[in-house]
Amino acid sequence: MSRRNAREIVLKSLFIMDFTPDTEISNALKVAEEEIQGATKSDVAYAKEVVEGTMSHIEEIDKELEETSKKWHVKRMAAIDRNLIRLAAYEMFMGTEKVPSAIAINEVVELAKLYGSDESAAYVNGILGKMVKNHDK
């Protein structure tokens, strides 16, 4: 299983649902899965778990994200950035299989370099680093 492929599916699914809130998770996953070459059944299964978990905790994640980003409203953040942060936050703090923060952050920073703006990687890294510090208190 490639967690990178799974995370790309998660990112694309969250992005789809961010812009079309009435989209069902299964439909977003299907569209996203079709765009990722080489995604396996286990990639898709992990992506489904993370998307469902992220969506079930979205209010909690977004509240923490706003607090961490010095009250910068989530909807004003770049869509790629906020969805990468949501993905990593779920994996690190809420997932059934907690992903170590260094791994989760590194993975989404790499995705930020692929899908985000020139500033995305640094922004995502900084916000997630602060979130981890807040959880360690």
Domains (ranges, CATH) in the chain? 3-136 (1.10.940.10)
DSSP string, 26-54: HHHHHHHHHHSTT--HHHHHHHHHHHHHH
pLDDT digits (tens, 9 = 90+) for 34-79: 998 888 999 999 999 999 999 999 999 999 999 998 867 888 899 9
Report yes or no: 125 and 105 within 8 Å, Cβ to Cβ: yes
User: pTM score, two decimals?
Assistant: 0.94
Place 136 in a pLDDT band, splitting at 50, 70 and 90: confident
3-state class of 116 per DSSP?
coil
Token pair of 37 as six digits: 């070459």
Mean pLDDT is lowest, of 12-21, 32-41, 90-99, 100-109, for: 32-41
Of 93 and 73, more confident? 93
Report yes or no: 8 and 49 within 8 Å, Cβ to Cβ: no
Report yes or no: 124 and 82 within 8 Å, Cβ to Cβ: no
Cα–chain center distance at 67: 17
pLDDT of residue 49: 97
